[in-house]
Amino acid sequence: MRFQQELLQQDESKVKMIGSLELLLVFLAIISVGANLRAPLTSVGPLVGEIRSSLGISGFAAGFLTTLPLLAFALLSPFAPKLSRRFGMEPVLFFASVLVTAGIFLRMTGSVRLLFAGTLLVGFGIAFGNVLIPGLIKSRFPMHLGVMTGIYAVSMNLCAAIASGLSVPVSEKLGWSGSLGYWGFISLVAILVLLPQVRRSGNRPAGKESGQKAVNLWKSGLAWNITVFMGLQSLIFYTIVAWLPEILAERGVEAGAAGWLLSLMQFALIPFTFIIPIIAGRMKSQIPLVIATGALFIGGILGILMGASSLTLLWVIMIGIGGGTAFSLAMMFFSLRTKNPQEAAELSGMAQSFGYLLAATGPALFGILHDATHSWILPLWMLLAVSVIILVTGIVSGRDTQVK
């Protein structure tokens, strides 16, 4: 009897050890995939001028380098929850990381066609990560939503900031194509972390929660408000990432300094992407945070439009903090406004599909308005209007309720 009890205790210890190791791998996967979701995109903005002069592409085409991944997000996001139900979240995230890696290396060939083809592949891979990470957090860390969402957001934005700041210095050594390819090591790390989980989770697909009535998100006003909020905050972020260096360059700021200002914008938001999810998770209503977000966006954009050039750093940091707060709120809305992990993944898929389709218009439209007016005034007024809509939809999304 004692021998059997010892065997049972050993088995229980092994199960606990395996469970702890599995959670550690999931934790590392969230960090590595998160690091992979923006760096391949933010590394492009500081190099736009060099890419345009090297390849002879128009302002519209240059803006499309940022728009194309957003279109990929919109196209593939609805399929991510379905694939995760069929194959499991971790295997789909592994496949996504492979796509990102392939796309990054295609972009560094120096060919215009492969530059855009690789950018599209990068967008396809990032789309799956964008959608599935919130559901993975809700599934594996249900008691630590705020902390894990914060860690995920910090990983994403820290690597994005580093990529923005180092793109020009790396380009000076390796050329713009080498600079774009340099960030492929991040996606390789994600592949290595996810590889052992592909076998382990292949038989554990994320099915629908038992006893839960399916919600038709397409008929939910709350879901649509979250979608618009998600899309427009992304529109501002990706538009600023694509065009801020060019705006600053026309005002006499050197390319390297402009790249670091863009990097500082993203460094400024990093503490808030960790703090805001924790604060939001402890609040029944997130409306006060939404109001602060709108004020930061409006103040920062107005500063760039009308404020003193000597305060450019302040305006950029305000936009960065607003973007970090808005993104964190969007991620938390997926969990706070749903009842289970699969519902969170479905809402994430809907919001990121239509939201990124909306966001995709930003960089290209910004470039078109500039080409048409030869000025940044009208494009910046467009971002101000977007900020007001973010405020309105955020107030609706921040109320203490769930999708029905």
Look up the pTM and report it. 0.76
Task: Supply the pLDDT for residue 11.
Answer: 44
Residue 2: pLDDT band (50, 70, 90) is: low
* Locus of tokens 């059997």: 4
Please indicate, yes or no, if residue 325 is contained in any of the structural domains: yes
Residue 237: pLDDT band (50, 70, 90) is: confident
Task: Supply the pLDDT for residue 290.
Answer: 97
Please indicate, yes or no, if residue 60 is contained in any of the structural domains: yes
Please indicate, yes or no, if residue 230 is contained in any of the structural domains: yes
Reported as a single tens digit per residue, the pLDDT across 23-44 is 888 899 899 999 989 888 888 8
235 dihedral zone (left: phi>0; alpha: psi -120 to 50; beta): alpha
Q: Which pair of tokens denotes residue 288?
A: 């006060």
Q: Which pair of tokens denotes residue 313?
A: 């750093």
Please indicate, yes or no, if residue 3 is contained in any of the structural domains: no
Reported as a single tens digit per residue, the pLDDT across 248-263 is 888 878 877 887 888 7
Reported as a single tens digit per residue, the pLDDT across 130-143 is 889 988 888 888 88
Percent of the chain whose pLDDT exceeds 90? 31
Please indicate, yes or no, if residue 59 is contained in any of the structural domains: yes
| Tally of domains in the chain | 1
Task: Supply the pLDDT for residue 227.
Answer: 94
Please indicate, yes or no, if residue 402 is contained in any of the structural domains: no
Largest pairwise CA distance in the chain: 86
For residue 6, pLDDT over 60 is answered with no
Task: For residue 91, give the CATH number of its domain.
Answer: 1.20.1250.20
Q: In 268-331, which ranges are E strands?
A: none
Residue 204: pLDDT band (50, 70, 90) is: low
Residue 8: pLDDT band (50, 70, 90) is: very low
For residue 387, pLDDT over 60 is answered with yes
Higher-pLDDT residue of 215 and 284 is 284
Are 341 and 205 contacting, i.e. CB atoms less than 8 angstroms apart?
Answer: no
Distance, CA of 136 to CA of 132 (rounded, Å): 6
Reported as a single tens digit per residue, the pLDDT across 181-200 is 888 888 898 998 888 877 66
Average pLDDT for residues 215-243, to the nearest whole number? 89
Reported as a single tens digit per residue, the pLDDT across 42-91 is 888 788 888 888 888 877 787 778 778 878 888 888 888 888 888 888 89
Please indicate, yes or no, if residue 198 is contained in any of the structural domains: yes
Task: Supply the pLDDT for residue 195.
Answer: 86
The lowest-confidence range among 204-213, 226-235, 244-253 is 204-213
Residue 321: pLDDT band (50, 70, 90) is: very high
For residue 19, pLDDT over 80 is answered with no
Mean model confidence pLDDT for the chain: 85
Please indicate, yes or no, if residue 4 is contained in any of the structural domains: no
Are 62 and 185 contacting, i.e. CB atoms less than 8 angstroms apart?
Answer: no
For residue 322, pLDDT over 80 is answered with yes
Residue 3: pLDDT band (50, 70, 90) is: very low
Tell me which range, 211-215, 354-358, 395-399, is most confidently predicted by mean pLDDT: 395-399
Higher-pLDDT residue of 356 and 246 is 246
Distance, CA of 303 to CA of 324 (rounded, Å): 18
Write down the H helix ranges in 202-254. 221-250
Reported as a single tens digit per residue, the pLDDT across 263-286 is 788 788 889 988 999 999 889 899
Residue 378's alpha-carbon distances to 78, 238, 363, in angstroms, are 33, 17, 13
Q: Which pair of tokens denotes residue 100?
A: 């990102």
Distance, CA of 19 to CA of 13 (rounded, Å): 10
Distance, CA of 233 to CA of 321 (rounded, Å): 12
Rounding to the nearest 10 degrees, give the CA dihedral for residues 266, 271, 272, 274: 120
Q: Which domain holds residue 217?
A: 15-397
